[in-house]
């Protein structure tokens, strides 16, 4: 637990020169890994060493504000920092093996030291965000692009309201750098970028894109329009595991600055649901067909949401309890054949083909394949017209 001296209602500390930016109104958090105590900077005294008088912050006890930049007037009392919050239903990110819920992000200007989060019917704090996230919006429309290779056709501008963007080497991007969650009608697409050029204050033009990352390609379908929200995916985000009955339910999420109430005008409120995207199997790739005298063999290659980036492995992890796929044949806008398989292949005999299609044999088929999960159901679908 935090040392007893840091549990006092009022303490005085001496700050080093590096803490010059701390001013009355700021929040200072003491965290020993087991507990957190927030203190409000009541006053400062200059001298050989800067003296700070701190008052213990309690939920709703008084308004919490962060200090202005050095030399500027501090915000007047009674105007607490009200953050904005994001609840992101995303695929598993690099380094995650399971999550069980959404990712949370918050931003504020000035940053109140930490942002507390409550979800659902309870007003109790269920998460604490200790770093501000980069948050902005698209300034230009972003159109669909290729998956699995560089998107050199799209260039887009992003206006950052909080945080900044910067360029990275290609090898760094391949390692996970410069990842953004971009809002769309279907959900959040994960986009990475190589180059960020500052156009004007807060406005960046980004190019050298990697689209539909981490299995978010199903969310790329429709154009993402100017004004769509953008969140930088970095260490400022926190994972949040929901109870099983809460997954899929629309919950009210409340974000409030440290020391501020999680109810009332000081809280930012958003309603969001979690569609278990972190549990969704990735869509298969490389759908193929090969005709023989006996019929048509269809094959594909699975992907894995767990450990799929291990280039040295002879086989990537399955990621599910058992291997199963849903294979479908389409014709004239209808599904004419649907079957489950336990391997990344299936066979259509000449007799089956003749029963399904007039004019058989055919030399092209409209097919779709999705991996099945015992927990999630049918995963992301891959659909393609394949040729003999």
Query: How far apart, in whole angstroms, are the C-alpha atoms of residue 105 and residue 122?
Result: 20
296-315 pLDDT, tens digit each: 999 999 999 887 766 666 77
* 321-341 average pLDDT score: 96
The answer to whether 94 and 172 have CB atoms below 8 angstroms apart is: no
Distances (CA, A) of 160 to 69, 76, 196, 198: 19, 26, 12, 11
pLDDT number for residue 330: 97
Terminal-to-terminal C-alpha distance of the chain: 68
State phi, psi for 51 to the nearest 5 degrees. -100, 135
DSSP string covering 225-259, please? Answer: PTT-EEEE-STT-EE-PPPGGGTTS-EEEEEEETT
> So what's the pLDDT on residue 227?
96
The CATH architecture annotation of domain 285-387 reads Sandwich (2.60)
Average pLDDT, the chain: 86
Contacts of 31 (CB under 8 A, 6+ apart): 2, 130
**C-alpha angle with apex 373: 371 to 376, nearest 5 degrees?**
115
Residue with tokens 């009541």: 42
Question: What is the residue-wise DSSP string for 111-143?
Answer: --S-EEEEETT--S--EEE-SPPPEEEESS-B-
pLDDT at position 245, please? 86
| pLDDT value at 146 more than 80 | yes
Q: How confident is the model at residue 202 (pLDDT cuts 50, 70, 90)?
A: very high
β-bridge mates for residue 328, sequence order: 338, 368
Q: Which helix (H) or strand (E) holds 380?
A: strand 377-387
User: What is the helix (H) or strand (E) element at residue 205, kind and residue range?
Assistant: strand 203-210
Highest mean pLDDT among 57-71, 241-255, 322-336: 322-336
Q: What percentage of the chain reaches a pLDDT higher than 90?
A: 62
CA distances from 220 to 18, 42, 114, 212, 267 (A): 45, 49, 33, 6, 32
Average pLDDT score over residue span 217-228: 92
**Domain range annotation of the chain:** 4-56, 135-232, 285-387
In order of 80, 100, 133, 343, the CA distances from 65 in angstroms are 5, 33, 18, 59
Average pLDDT for 167-190: 95
pLDDT digits (tens, 9 = 90+) for 32-41: 555 667 776 7
Candidate from 18-27, 102-111, 119-128, 372-381 with smallest mean pLDDT: 18-27
| 329 three-class SS | strand
Higher pLDDT among residues 57 and 290, named by residue: 290
Q: Which pLDDT score, from 0 to 100, does residue 6 have?
A: 42
CB 115 within 8 A of CB 255: yes
Q: Supply 39's token pair.
A: 């203190």
């Amino acid at each position: 637990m935090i040392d007893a001296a840091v549990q006092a209602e009022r303490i005085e500390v001496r700050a080093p020169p590096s803490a010059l930016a701390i001013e009355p109104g700021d929040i200072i958090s003491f965290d020993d890994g087991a507990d957190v105590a927030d203190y409000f900077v009541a006053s400062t005294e200059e001298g050989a060493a800067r003296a700070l008088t701190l008052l213990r912050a309690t939920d709703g006890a008084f308004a919490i504000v962060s200090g202005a930049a050095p030399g500027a007037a501090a915000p007047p009392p009674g105007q607490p920092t009200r953050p904005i919050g994001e609840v992101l239903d995303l695929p598993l990110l690099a380094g995650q093996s399971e999550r069980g819920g959404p990712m949370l992000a918050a931003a504020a200007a000035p940053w109140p030291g930490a942002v507390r989060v409550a979800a659902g019917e309870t007003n109790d704090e269920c998460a604490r965000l200790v770093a501000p996230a980069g948050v902005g919006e698209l300034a230009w429309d972003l159109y669909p692009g290729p998956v699995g290779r560089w998107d050199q056709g799209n260039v887009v501008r992003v206006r950052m309201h909080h945080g900044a963007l910067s360029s990275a080497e290609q090898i760094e991007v391949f390692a996970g750098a410069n990842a953004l969650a971009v809002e769309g009608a279907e959900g959040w697409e994960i986009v990475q970028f190589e180059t960020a050029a500052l156009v004007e204050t807060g406005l960046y033009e980004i190019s050298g894109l990697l689209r539909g990352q981490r299995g978010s390609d199903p969310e790329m379908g429709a154009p993402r329009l100017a004004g769509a929200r953008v969140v930088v995916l970095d260490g400022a985000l926190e994972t949040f595991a929901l109870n099983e009955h809460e997954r899929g339910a629309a919950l009210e999420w409340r974000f409030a600055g440290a020391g501020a109430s999680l109810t009332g005008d000081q809280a930012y409120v958003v309603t969001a649901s979690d569609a278990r995207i972190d549990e969704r199997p990735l869509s298969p790739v490389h759908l193929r067909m090969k005709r023989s005298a006996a019929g048509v063999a269809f094959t594909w290659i699975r992907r894995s949401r767990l450990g799929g980036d291990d280039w040295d492995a002879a086989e990537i992890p399955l990621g599910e309890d058992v291997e199963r796929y849903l294979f479908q044949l389409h014709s004239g806008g209808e599904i004419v054949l649907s079957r489950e398989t336990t391997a990344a292949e299936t066979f259509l005999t000449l007799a089956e083909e003749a029963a399904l299609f007039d004019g058989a044999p055919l030399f092209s088929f409209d097919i779709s394949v999705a991996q099945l999960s015992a927990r999630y159901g049918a995963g992301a679908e891959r659909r393609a017209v394949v040729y003999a």
